[in-house]
Chain A
Amino acid sequence: DTAVSQTPKYLVTQMGNDKSIKCEQNLGHDTMYWYKQDSKKFLKIMFSYNNKELIINETVPNRFSPKSPDKAHLNLHINSLELGDSAVYFCASSQETFGQRRRFYGYTFGSGTRLTVV
C-alpha cells in the first residue's frame, strides 16, 4: 500500500529518556514533515525537510532533531524527554516541484504516534 507509515503507534517512556519515532513514505514525495498536535488539537509544524533544505520551527526545542537517511525516511529523535513532550506526533509527506514554478500537490499524513512521558 502506498502510504506514510510511522512507528511506533504508542510510546510510553520515562522522563529523561531518549527516544525515536520513525517515518517512512513510499509515495516518492520529495518533502517530509513532522507535526505535533497541540492541546487544542491543531497541528503545529516542527520540521519540514527535502533533499536541499531543512526548515526548523524556531519554537521547537533543540532536544528534538530530525534525521533523514534518505528521501523516503524522516525520523524524529527526542533527547531528555520532558513531561510536556507528551502529545501526538504526525509525520507527513508531500510533493513539491521546483523550477520556474513551484507547485504543491497536497499532503499525505501518517496515522500518528501518541507519546506519553511519565
Chain B
Amino acid sequence: SQQGEEDPQALSIQEGENATMNCSYKTSINNLQWYRQNSGRGLVHLILIRSNEREKHSGRLRVTLDTSKKSSSLLITASRAADTASYFCATVPGNQFYFGTGTSLTVIP
C-alpha cells in the first residue's frame, strides 16, 4: 500500500487565500518531500523536510513534519491562480519513493 496519503483530495479556494494540505504516512522515513504536478506534466519538487526537522519554509510555502503522528502539512500562503495543480507528498524510507494520491488544488482568480 502507498505510504503517503494526502488530505483533502480536492481543494478549491479564492486567490489570495491560504491553502493547507495534509499528508499521513505509515512507516519511518528519512525525509518527506512535497511535489507539484501541473496537468499533463511530470512532478516538480517543492521542498524537502528531513526526519529531524519540524518546520521548513520556502517562499510562500511552509511545511511541517510531525514524526510522532506520522504526518506533514503543506501551507501555501497568498495563493495565486498559477498555484492550481496537484500536490503530492512523497515519503522516502531508504531509497524508495512512495507517493500519495495527491491533493488537487484549484485557485479561483
Contacts and interface: CB of A to CB of B under 8 A. Distances in A.
Main secondary structure of the interface of B (DSSP, over half): strand
Contacts of B88: 106-107
B64 interface: no
Number of contact residues on A: which range applies?
A: 20 to 34
B31 to A, nearest CB: 7
B2 A106 contact: yes
Interface residues of B, number: 26
A104 B102 contact: yes
Nearest to B47: A42
Interface in A56-87: 57
Given A43-B45, A45-B42, A48-B42, A106 B99 contact: yes
A91 B48 CA distance: 21
Interface of B: 2, 31, 33, 35, 37, 39-45, 48, 86, 88, 90, 92, 95-102, 104
